[in-house]
Amino acid sequence: MADNRGGPAHDPPETVADVGEFGLIRRVTAGRRQPATTLLGPGDDAALVAAPDGRVVASTDVLTEGVHFRLDWSTPEHVGRKAIAVNMADIAAMGAVPTALLVGLACPRTTRSEVAEGLASGMWDEATRAGAGLVGGDVVTAKEIVISVTALGDMGGREPVTRGGAMPGDVLAVCGRLGWSAAGLAVLGRGFRSPVQVVGAYRVPEPPYAAGPQAAAAGATAMMDVSDGLLADLAHICSASNVAIDVRTDLVEVPRRLVDVATALGADPMHWVLTGGEDHALVATFPEPEAVPEGWRTIGTVGRGTAVTVDGGPYEGGTGWQHFR
């Protein structure tokens, strides 16, 4: 059969409206394995998740198309992994182990089913990487793609590490990448798709999930993940703990790859490291240098006051991302 132009006719791509709400849910949950903490997974009115510690750590984030991701820059699988990673980083930042996730997906009825299934596939992959289960959620119609994720975690008998426990005399340390996502965003914003490693850091963050419980066990006094930029997020610790933090740039690692990309784009790689968001590294304070665990890098000190400084003075280049500005 030919169309009016003489070429072969093609069926229109399948949409989520064609599959239907419950058909889509069956597709994205069928055959998926759950960790032992999932006592009752998708398919009922609510899930049942084990809480061995007796307490549940919970956090939620919302990702909106055009603000947090673009499907011309990232595949649905990338976006799915990112949606899970940004939430589980918050659980790790409390010193907890991620156990379960609840996902809400809102999208236009014209969204291709392969996009929705790709999002789900990325979510399952990232949840599995962290040892958590995807235990339930909801699917609704909307004008644009919006992903809402609630993450749960278990403290394993430890006390949570909040933002409010830093003390003057502590040292500041970080675990994970800084500046990579900002560099990737800059590359994509210029219309390029490489270097792949840098662009990939923007598409899918790699939070060091195990480093959160590790820091808690080592006696971390305050901790959080770097979602909006190192200096911006350190300001939250300063406010909650009523302390000052000074970042020393001679201790901050600026990878050679970021230097090369910054040189090509006429940018400052240290600015990416200090203010770039969405890497979801973990930053924490420790009572003494000897308490900093393996894999963490000391990058500054905690003192009296309430300000974040860089090399003893204010940073003039802006501090990071804020919504509604």
Per-domain residue ranges of the chain:
16-154, 171-310
Burial track 244-259 (b if 16+ CB lie within 10 A, e otherwise): bbbbeeeebebbeebe
Asked if 224 and 271 count as a contact pair (C-beta separation under 8 A), the reply is: no
**Sorting pLDDT into bands at 50, 70 and 90, what band is 231?**
very high
Alpha carbon of 130 to those of 89, 102, 183, 206, 208: distances in Å? 10, 15, 25, 11, 9
- What is the third-level CATH fold of 171-310? Phosphoribosyl-aminoimidazole Synthetase; Chain A, domain 2 (3.90.650)
Known binding-site residues for Mg(2+) equal: 45, 59-61, 90, 138, 225, 228
Q: Which tokens go with 196?
A: 């792949």
State residue 21's pLDDT score: 85
Rounded Cα distance between 158 and 291, Å, is 17
Q: How confident is the model at residue 291 (pLDDT cuts 50, 70, 90)?
A: very high
170-183 pLDDT, tens digit each: 999 999 999 999 99
pLDDT, position 16: 92
pLDDT at residue 247 tops 80? yes
* Cβ atoms of residues 202 and 277 within 8 Å: no
Q: What pLDDT, on the 0 to 100 scale, is given for residue 317?
A: 72
Q: What is the pLDDT of residue 320?
A: 55
For position 270, what pLDDT does the model report? 97
pLDDT band with cut points at 50, 70 and 90 for residue 2: very low
Work out the percent of the chain whose per-residue pLDDT is above 70: 94
Identify the pLDDT of residue 319: 58
Looking at CATH, the fold of the domain delimited by 16-154 is given as 60s Ribosomal Protein L30; Chain: A; (3.30.1330)
d(C-alpha 154, C-alpha 165), whole Å: 20
Quick one: pLDDT band at residue 8, thresholds 50, 70, 90?
low
Can you say which residues are annotated as belonging to the binding site for substrate?
68, 278, 321
> What does the CA dihedral 93, 96, 99, 104 come to, rounded to 10 degrees?
-30
Q: SS3 for 298?
A: strand
* 68 DSSP assignment: T
Give 118-159 pLDDT, tens digit per residue.
999 999 999 999 999 999 999 999 999 999 999 999 999 999
pLDDT of 11 > 90? The answer is: no
pTM equals: 0.91
User: Does 235 score more than 50 pLDDT?
Assistant: yes
Distance CA 118, CA 132 (A): 19
Question: Residues forming the annotated binding site for ATP?
Answer: 137-138, 163, 227
Has residue 1 got a pLDDT over 50?
no
Question: What CA–CA distance (Å, rounded) separates 111 from 145?
Answer: 9
Which residues are annotated binding-site positions?
A: 45, 59-61, 68, 90, 137-138, 163, 225, 227-228, 278, 321
